[in-house]
Amino acid sequence: MSGDSKHPAIKLTYFDVKGRGEQVRLYLKDNAIPFEDNRISFPQLGEEQKKGTLPWGSVPFLEEGDFSIAQSPAILTYLETKYGQAGASWGTNQPRVISAICAAEDHRQLRLQSTLFAPADQKEALQKKHVEDKLLPRWLPNIEKMFAKSGGPYVLGAQVSAADASWFSELEMIVAVFHPDLQGFAGIRRFMEAYAARPNIAAYLRERKQTPV
Ligand SMILES: N[C@@H](CCC(=O)N[C@@H](CS)C(=O)NCC(=O)O)C(=O)O
């Protein structure tokens, strides 16, 4: 991906899976921002960690010319501030967007603890516990409330933002891993449909590399 001094190329470094990188890919695709999708392996991450190029030793990591930033909520905030469509309303909407992105990150962490990172012999029980104790009584109702409060279909209402990229990628995983019955969650279903139907997102969902996580 080439750039110039006025528009330096964006490079996103992440593993060759959806994970925490997918929300950034979705945001960049939705906004038609060209970027290098630098998908690395675990050994390559180890090399980067040894070189000290990653501020927290973690990915996703985004570079744009001389600027670079780690931590997915901060990456999305950076992109939304620079490229977002919220314009003048960004000042007042920013805390809501960041709050929603952080909430998605909280759930992502909980989901990973009960799935990918869970010991093999405890996985089934931990998943069941997550669904019964956390997902159904607390998380899905709170996500639904977020859309009811904004009026939907997006986190900010009619205005799309980086928070939608974040929640879409997390809800995709929630659906894929826990198969919840979303019958009583019309706001969530409307959001998923509206975001997936955005032209650049629909094209990306058709063409993107299929990975299990
Ligand atoms: N809060 C961070 C979490 C970053 C994180 O834990 N990334 C994982 C991949 S999803 C990672 O780099 N793990 C390798 C390691 O920490 O050694 C974020 O949202 O970016």
Cis preceding-peptide flag for 8 (omega within 30 of 0) = no
Nearest to 140 by CA among 184, 204, 76, 87: 184
Break the chain into its structural domains and give their ranges.
10-84+203-207, 87-198
pLDDT tens across the length of the chain (213 residues): 557 666 679 999 999 999 999 999 999 999 999 999 999 999 999 999 999 999 999 999 999 999 999 999 999 999 999 998 777 788 899 999 999 999 999 999 999 999 999 999 999 999 999 999 999 999 999 999 999 999 999 999 999 999 999 999 999 999 999 999 999 999 999 999 999 999 999 999 999 999 989
Task: Report how far residue 178's alpha carbon sits from residue 182's, in angstroms, rounded to the nearest whole number.
Answer: 11
Q: Specify whether domain 10-84+203-207 bears CATH 3.40.50.2300.
A: no
Give 43 Cα–ligand 1 centroid separation in angstroms. Answer: 15
Token pair in block for residue 192: 């998923």
Q: What is the per-residue pLDDT for 6?
A: 62
Best residue among 59, 69, 109 to mutate for probing ligand 1's pocket (most ligand atoms within 8 Å of CB) is: 59
* Count of Cβ atoms closer than 10 Å to residue 21 Cβ: 24
- Strand pairing partners for 39? 14
The per-residue pLDDT for 212 is: 86
65 close to 6: Cβ distance less than 8 angstroms: no
CATH 1.20.1050.10 fits 87-198, yes or no: yes
Rg of the chain, C-alpha, whole Å: 17
Residue 85 carries which DSSP code?
S
Q: Tell me the two tokens of residue 38.
A: 């630098």
State the closest ligand 1 atom to the C-alpha of 75, by its place in the atom list counted from 1: 20
Q: Is 21 in the pocket of ligand 1 (CB under 6 A)?
A: no
Task: Using a cut of 0.85, tell me whether the model's pTM lies above it.
Answer: yes
Which residue, by CA, sits nearest to atom 16 of ligand 1? 58
- Given the CA of residue 58, which atom of ligand 1 is nearest to it? 12
6 with 33: CB under 8 angstroms?
no
CA–CA dist 125, 146 (Å, integer): 29
From the CA of 164, how far away is ligand 1's center (Å)?
20
Pick the closest to residue 165 from 95, 90, 73 (CA basis): 73
Tokens 């990172």 belong to: 117
77 within ligand 1 shell (Cβ under 6 A) = no
**Residue 101 · residue 183 · CB < 8 Å:** no
Contact 155, 161 (CB under 8 A): yes
Q: From the CA of 59, how far away is ligand 1's center (Å)? A: 5
Ligand 1 pocket member 152 (CB < 6 A): no
The verdict on the CB of residue 59 being under 6 Å from ligand 1 is yes
Q: Determine the distance separating the centroid of ligand 1 and the alpha carbon of 123, expressed in angstroms.
A: 21
CA-to-CA distance for 77 and 91, rounded, in angstroms? Answer: 12
Q: Is 57 in the pocket of ligand 1 (CB under 6 A)?
A: yes
